[in-house]
Amino acid sequence: MSPAMAGFTTENEESQYQNGVKCLHENGISKVPSKYILPVLERPGITNHEQANVTKNNLKLPIIDFQELQGPNRPQVLQSLANACEQYGFFQLVNHDIPSDVISNMIEVGTKFFELPFEERAKYMSSDMRAPVRYGTSFNQNKDKVFCWRDFLKLLCHPLPDVLPHWPSSPVDIRNLAATYAKETKYLFLMLMEAIFESLGLVDSSAAKKKTTEEDEVLKEFEDGSQLMVVNCYPPCPEPDLTLGMPPHSDYGFLTLLLQDEVEGLQIQFQDKWVTVEPIANSFVVNVGDHLEIFSNGKYKSVLHRVLVNSRKDRISVASLHSLPFMRPVGPSPKLVDESNPRRYKETDFANFLEYISSREHNKKNFLESRKLT
């Protein structure tokens, strides 16, 4: 490794940062550049009394069995689902009916994309947050003061026939495999939203199969709603205690379905502590997004989460973020607002979110906080 690479003090260091952490790893970097080093109190590896809110314990999230949700035990599973969304903002979904080869193929083709030469990946670099395909690094590389140890491939998934021709054509079959995965996760999201509506008491459980016109209309909007797939790559980091793969944040949409490989990394804030989520093979980690917290008028919680990195091996994850159509306003459901629980949020839409994060550094739940009524 050259001296320039070791210290990264050359004239073109900013362009090197913009190239992403996969490039840093491929160039054999042995120290984390200053651009990625977090302030002391924000680092994941601090063990002094200032960081008493960090625990080494792993967290077993509530498990929702999708097959049970479709069967005679649905009322009990719906109660478990409600408890998970209220107390954790996260749950693990098992027995979800998505074939295991669809899942393994998505992880495999995502891994292969990040193994392409940088020149091939760079074809999809863009600062346009509405682009149908976007390759980049960090969280918001245009605004982040400190970069995070992540490269990503973002794919808009709706309407699929319109965006598919813009997706990468390499590696072989990425369009076909990613499109299949997108369709499967969209269907799963729609089924989960039916259960979410029911768990919120928006339909009578005894009439779950006879949905109200209002629910039909909203679920129909979800069918035509936004879907963004994010393939995340977290390469080995020489000093993982100094940086994060993703900073503490919440997700903007209704639900995020996260597929992880076997490498630990995801942490959520639970009871004021950071705890690591144990991966379960062929499962999804599902989390409440900002839009669902708004829609539920604060009943279900959009929870802060972050990603740790390690010094040993790559970690790949695939997040599928779902919401209503981009321009469709989201506000508290009128059925969940009354004198004892007044309206807590103003309406928002995806355009508001893009405008907000494009103009500043994304920080924790600041967008959601900006939607709260005081």
Per-residue pLDDT at 214 exceeds 50 = yes
| Residue 173: pLDDT band with limits 50, 70, 90 | very high
How many whole angstroms from its chain centre is CA 166?
Answer: 22
Per-residue pLDDT at 331 exceeds 50 = yes
**Is residue 241 classed exposed, middle or buried when 0-12, 13-18 and 19+ CB atoms within 10 A define those classes?**
middle
- Confidence (pLDDT) at 51: 41
| Residue 355: pLDDT band with limits 50, 70, 90 | confident
Altogether, the residues listed in the chain come to a count of 374
Mean pLDDT on 225-254? 95
Residue span of the structural domain in which 176 resides: 3-371
- Confidence (pLDDT) at 98: 97
Q: What angle do CA 9, 15, 18 make, to 5 degrees?
A: 115
- Domains: count for the chain: 1
The residues facing 257 across adjacent strands are 286, 320
Per residue in 59-111, pLDDT (tens digit) is 889 999 999 999 999 999 999 999 999 999 999 999 999 999 999 999 999 99
CA 143/CA 146 separation, integer angstroms:
9
The CATH code of the domain that includes 148 is 2.60.120.330
Contact yes or no for 299/81 (Cβ under 8 A): no
Token duo for residue 341 = 């629980």
Question: Smallest Cα–Cα separation from 222: which of 250, 194, 263?
Answer: 194
- Confidence (pLDDT) at 354: 74
| C-alpha distance from residue 241 to each of 51, 149, 268 (Å) | 13, 11, 17
Whole-prediction pTM: 0.90
- Beta-sheet strands, E only, within the chain: 54-59, 63-65, 90-94, 133-137, 151-156, 227-234, 246-249, 255-260, 266-270, 273-277, 284-288, 305-307, 315-322
Mean pLDDT on 203-228? 73
Per-residue pLDDT at 360 exceeds 80 = no
How many whole angstroms from its chain centre is CA 45?
Answer: 23
Per residue in 22-53, pLDDT (tens digit) is 999 999 999 999 999 999 999 997 543 334 44
| Percent of the chain whose predicted confidence (pLDDT) is above 90 | 72
Picking from 49-53, 70-74, 222-226, 368-372, which range would have the lowest pLDDT averaged per residue?
Answer: 49-53
Per residue in 120-163, pLDDT (tens digit) is 999 999 878 789 999 999 877 777 889 999 999 999 999 999 99
- Confidence (pLDDT) at 365: 77
